[in-house]
Every structure is written in structure tokens, then in C-alpha cells.
Structure 1
Amino acid sequence: MSTRLTRAVLCSGAATAALTLAVGTASAAPVVLSEGHVDVIDVSYEDGELALGLHDETTGTGVERDPADVTLRVKPEAELAVPSNPAYAFLGSPGDPVWVLPQTNNPDLLFAGWAAHEVPSGAFEDDEVTVALTAVSGPGDVSAYDVVSGLPVVNYDSGDGLPDAFTTTAGDHHHTNWAFEAEGDYTLTFQASAELPGGTVVTSEPTAYHFTVG
């Protein structure tokens, strides 16, 4: 038994009760991220377990975080108007406001993406992991899209029904546009799945990510 624990055991009843309460209620401090590089969806596979986390590089030093402890802030500066191009109709009507974390780095906003650096090559068929958006709670629809040759390529869109999914591969690191169609608080729930070489499918636990917009 450690010296510290021995002292705790020898404390008076009142002090011991206070120590027990402190230990029982301890938790990671909540974190709000509002600018800088973050892999919102960080896919890992270790000891036969597929999992989703969050990789925070906003300070320049990578930190693995539990998504439950993090709020991702989409600042008012992210507000744009929906383009008149019909290809962007999934964001709403032309001219409507939409809040977008951009695919290219803007130092005043979150540079948000996903990564599968912690998925070893050869672990899954074709090195592929499917990440499904299974639920959205919030005041508006949510989507993620890339812009390729001036046109959007949608990765997922809660406005056309859920679940909606995209595929990543072992070692992948990808940035995309994250779009929110109204101000307020959102919870996005994702779940990953992949097929092992023998045909068995492994699935992560559903993982909730929290955003506040505006």
C-alpha cells in the first residue's frame, strides 16, 4: 500500500468521506476548441477494438481527447450565404445563411477533418473503414462536403436521411467542409465498422460529438 493511500485510510471519518467524494466525482475538465487543427473523428484499431476519438492539435502538440469532454465551436465568422449554384441546394435555398468550417485552413476557425493514422495497414479488407453518421440532434441539418473542381462532393448530409456514411482508409488524413444550417447546439453521433480479412465485421461504440454554432 502506498504512503499516500495509507495516510488516507488513517484519516478521520470526515476526511475519508470527503476524499471519497472527491475521487468519485473527478472527471476530465471540459474543453472548448474554436480554432486550429483538429481531427474531429480519429479512427483507431488496437487489440481487436475499433474506436472513435478526437485528436486535438490546436496548440501544435497532439492530444488525444474523449469527445465527451470537448465542445467544438463554430464561430460567427464561419457564416456564409448558400451559393446560387444548384449543386449546393443540399445546404438550403440560395442566399440562406450557413455556417461552414472550411476545407482549407482559416486560422480564425477550426480546421476540422478526420484521420485513421491509428488503423494499421492490412488490418481490414481493402484497408477500408466505414464511418456512419447515425443521428443528429440540433436546430438544423448538418453536412460535410469536399469541393472538387469548383463543385461539392457530399460526404454525408443529415437532410437526406440517416444513417449516412463515408469511407476512410488506413493511414488516411482528410479535411472537409463541415456545414451547419442554423445556429445552436448540435450532437452528432458516429459509428465506425470494418471487415476483417476473414469476413468478420467489427464495429465501434456509437460516439457523440458536440458542436455549438454561432
Structure 2
Amino acid sequence: MRRLLIGLCALLLTPTSAFAQGDLEQKIDEGQAVVAGRTVLSEGHVDIGPRFVDGRWTLLVHDDQAKADPDGESVWRPTDHTVLQVRDQAILQIPDDPNYAFLRGTPGDDVFVVPQTQDPEVVWVGWNTQDPEVMETIDRGVTMTMTGVEGPGSLVVYLQSGDFAEPDVLWDSEGKPEPVWVDVNTHTHANWVFSKPGVYLVQVKIEAELVDGKTVSDTQVLRFAVGSKTSTDEAFTAAFRETPRAAASTPAAATAESSGGVPHGVLLGIGAVLLAVGFAFVLARGRGAKRRART
């Protein structure tokens, strides 16, 4: 709790802190390597995003942590070769606030949170549409949908915009799939809240219309080992078996407000930190995003 309170105060005192803002304003270089081989990512900056691999539209994991090495460069990794480990340092408590009733637990219950704002002790998971070939090839943006989740508990992914705005739920493992619209040249982070420790398999579909009129799509499974005692080996070997759920009858999409004239897209980077009565719940900074109905 002391760590959470210190972190909360630091964020309140530095609303434009470099770690919350600078990493969002990234540029992905052309030709970054796609690296196979089992890898566990338990801290540092990670995105999921589309890439063309041998001409095929593919959802991959973009590992930015490799840049921490003196000669390191960011790389892309196959989803089935990558486990995102959410250690016990991610444990926070559900706030006593009706705005967070969608988390379904009791105020004060422990949950595992991959936050929208970077915590150096927790893997920081977002998404991007910034690969150079992707930006040149897709028309306007992509649609991402969480089509299924297997795990011991629930998963909710939501955005929190600035000025203590209400949370904006993007995905809920106990609800129907909601397509989320992502503009080209976008880099976004959100809050990922897991209700219990264990292995979670999260199936994500990403599709786009290309400038030549063709449509591309890929579906991959993200592997999470939630809790420090959860076996990462088990996360690698687990098989996704759930039948994809029916799509929502009125699908919604998240789109971003324009910021500074970024071509064809936005960077979500202004966030919020909320303090519930008796509990600290570190929420993230990201530029404001809103839901809109797809036509």
C-alpha cells in the first residue's frame, strides 16, 4: 500500500511526467526483426499490433524492452512464443466508487492491474498501428476485437481519460465482443484488470481495409501468467478452446481526439489517477478516447 500511495502522489504532482508521456510518442523503425523463441515479458513496454510478415497480415507483440540494452533494438515477437507475466506487484484494490461497479468485486478486493500509466515494476501492455508498412497500406485504421477469454477469473480492459472522467470500458470477458476502432499511427495504453491469479488466454482479432480495397484479418491468442506464483511454462503450453462469442448487436468503437495534427491518427497520452475512500487505485494516463457507434 505504501508503494501505491507514493506512486499516486508522484503522478498527481507530475501530470505530464516523461514516463507517462514520452513513451507514447514513439516511432517504430522500418524492418525491425521478428524474433522467435519463448520469451517471458514481466516488465517494460510492450504493445500488440499488426505487421506484414512475408506479405501476410499478422498480429504480433512489439517488445520495446530490448532497447534497455546498450546496443538493443525493439523487436516483434509471435504471440504463441510470448508470455506476458503480471507479477504480484500489480495487485491493487477495487475502489469504493459506483463508477467501478463493472469490476464486479467488492470494494477493497485485490485485483491484478496492468495500468494505463507505466509502472516500472509491472509489464506495460498497449497496442499500436505504427509499423511503417502498415501505415502506408491500411485505409484509416484497424478494428480490434477481444473474441474470447479463458482463465480462472474475469478480464476487463478500460480507458480512463483526464479530469477524473468516468472509465470507458472497451472489453469485458463476461460480455459480448466489442469491436474497438484504432486509427492509423496510434499508440495507446489501457487498464487491464484481472480478477484472479492464473493463466489467461485472450483471443484478439485485428482486421483492416487496405488502400487497394482488400480486407485483411488475423486472430491470435495473447498469453498472460497472472500472479508471481503462476507458471509461465503452463501459460506457454495452454491451448485456447473457447468457442468465439457472438458479436455485439450494436458494436462500438474507441476513437481518439485529434492532438497536434498527427497524420491520420492520434496518440492517447493524457490520463487520470483516482483515489477511492480508504483505497489507492492507480489508474493510467492516456490521451482521451471516446466510444462511437460504427456505421
When the two structures are superposed, what TM-score results if normalisation uses the length of structure 2?
0.58
Amino acid at match of 1:85: D
Matched, 1:209 2:222: yes
- Does the aligned pair in 1 maintain the 2:50–2:134 contact within 8 Å? no
- Does the aligned pair in 2 maintain the 1:92–1:181 contact within 8 Å? no
- Does the aligned pair in 1 maintain the 2:112–2:193 contact within 8 Å? yes
Where does 1:166-205 land on structure 2 (aligned, <5 Å)? 166-197=180-211, 200-204=214-218
Structure 2, gaps ≥5 residues long: 1-34, 68-72, 228-295
Where does 1:36-55 land on structure 2 (aligned, <5 Å)? 36-39=44-47, 41-45=48-52, 49-55=56-62
Q: Which residue does the alignment assign to 1:157?
A: 172
Matched, 1:130 2:143: yes
Please state how far the C-alpha of 1:67 moved relative to its aligned partner: 1.0
- Partners of 2:62 and 2:214 lie apart in 1 by 28
Amino acid at match of 1:185: V
Please state how far the C-alpha of 1:104 moved relative to its aligned partner: 0.9
When the two structures are superposed, what TM-score results if normalisation uses the length of structure 1?
0.78
Matched, 1:67 2:105: no
* Alignment: residue pair count: 184
Which deviates more from structure 2 when the two are superposed, residues 194-203 or residues 101-110?
194-203
- SS of 1:164's partner is coil
Please state how far the C-alpha of 1:194 moved relative to its aligned partner: 1.6
- Does the aligned pair in 2 maintain the 1:131–1:190 contact within 8 Å? yes
- SS of 1:87's partner is helix
Matched, 1:56 2:63: yes
- Does the aligned pair in 2 maintain the 1:74–1:110 contact within 8 Å? yes
Matched, 1:111 2:124: yes
- Partners of 2:178 and 2:111 lie apart in 1 by 20
- Does the aligned pair in 2 maintain the 1:91–1:98 contact within 8 Å? no
Matched, 1:29 2:37: yes
Q: Which residue does the alignment assign to 2:155?
A: 142
- Partners of 1:106 and 1:89 lie apart in 2 by 24
- SS of 1:182's partner is coil
- Does the aligned pair in 2 maintain the 1:121–1:170 contact within 8 Å? yes
- Partners of 1:198 and 1:30 lie apart in 2 by 36
Q: Which residue does the alignment assign to 2:251?
A: none
Matched, 1:97 2:110: yes
Q: Which residue does the alignment assign to 1:83?
A: 95
- Equivalent pairs: percent with the same residue? 36
- Does the aligned pair in 2 maintain the 1:155–1:166 contact within 8 Å? yes
- Does the aligned pair in 2 maintain the 1:79–1:97 contact within 8 Å? yes
- Partners of 1:184 and 1:75 lie apart in 2 by 11
Compare the two structures and name the one with the higher strand fraction: 1
Which deviates more from structure 2 when the two are superposed, residues 113-122 or residues 80-89?
113-122
- Partners of 2:178 and 2:109 lie apart in 1 by 24
- Partners of 1:34 and 1:46 lie apart in 2 by 25
Q: Which has the larger radius of gyration?
A: 1
Amino acid at match of 1:89: A
* Superposition RMSD in Å: 2.1
- Does the aligned pair in 2 maintain the 1:185–1:210 contact within 8 Å? yes
